[in-house]
Amino acid sequence: MTSSGNKTRIAEENPSRTPDDTAGVQVMGIINVTPDSFSDGGQISNENALLTQVEQMVLDGADIIDIGGESTRPFAEKVSAEEELSRVIPAIEAIKRNFHIPISIDTCKAEVADKAIQAGAGIINDISGLTLDPAMISVAIRHNVPVIIMHMQGTPRDMQINPSYDNVVNDIFASLSGRISWAEEQGLSRQNIIIDPGIGFGKTINHNLTIIRQLKKFTSLGCQVLVGHSRKAFIGTILSIDDPQKRDEATAVLSAICAANGAAILRVHDVARTVQAVKIVQAVMHGHQDNRS
């Protein structure tokens, strides 16, 4: 990533909540600094493009920015820690210099998470559920940061090859419950655990829909629930929309359903539509101060 001489952007007038705030559903904006992401790969080629996208997300109401430097799309190949670091560290440092918003690092590598936190990230988003790198739990405990533990059947390279469950919700619930217990035994506070049922990670279309329909069950684990459904292939299949960037309206509909069903954090590409969806859900469920029609 190279700088393009951008002016400093400060978002102090729109301070963000932290992940342990229970005031409402939080929106996590996705920033991929990868050349091969399924939805927006290669779009961020320099610092100015990065900061422009982050600025728009902040203005649209994002609570958290999630930075990823390795594609986790189906059949994606791994990249080295060095390559991943070269992508995410400059991005995190640039965001930290220009904005006051929590940053999440989307990685399965302890080295990347460690250096990302040193650069300014404050949340670890591990799609492997702390299984791929044994050192990840130590990084989280040492830095005392929240960790998103996601469920995935298989790996990105094979997860969509005939995924199967006895009962998808019960099986994922049991798996996440086990990961929570293990993490607590290692010394990670439950307060610092966020769970993600892993929409699209080793699931069929009906698995994904069942998870969303029964999302409330996961809230009984006593951790905040994150849902990452944005622009995913099952939406395109249902609606016959091949272009991932044309799935944002449907993503917002699912965001509303997830918010109503207990999601605490929604990880999305289009922040504006999701913020609107969440506001409508909150107004329906809790009322609105202005009673005018």
Given the residues 179, 232, 247, 273, the one annotated as active site:
232
26 Cβ contact partners less than 8 Å away, ≥ 6 residues apart: 17, 19, 63, 64, 264, 265, 266
Q: How far is CA 197 from CA 84, 175, 192, 215, 239, in A?
A: 25, 10, 17, 9, 23
Does residue 6 come out as left (phi exceeding 0), alpha (psi in the -120 to 50 range) or beta? Answer: beta
φ/ψ of 26, rounded to 5, equals -105, 150
Helix (H) or strand (E) holding 104: strand 103-106
Asked if 88 and 114 count as a contact pair (C-beta separation under 8 A), the reply is no
**Triad 196, 90, 21: Cα angle to 5°:** 35
Euclidean distance between CA atoms 144 and 139, whole angstroms: 8
Q: Beta-strand (E) ranges in 139-252?
A: 147-150, 193-196, 224-227
Report DSSP state, residue 43. -
Given the residues 267, 273, 279, 292, the one annotated as active site:
267
Tell me which residue has tokens 């298989």: 154
Please say if 232 is a catalytic residue: yes
Tokens of 188: 């990670």
Tokens of 41: 């790969």
SS3 148: strand
Euclidean distance between CA atoms 48 and 190, whole angstroms: 38
Catalytic residue set = 232, 267
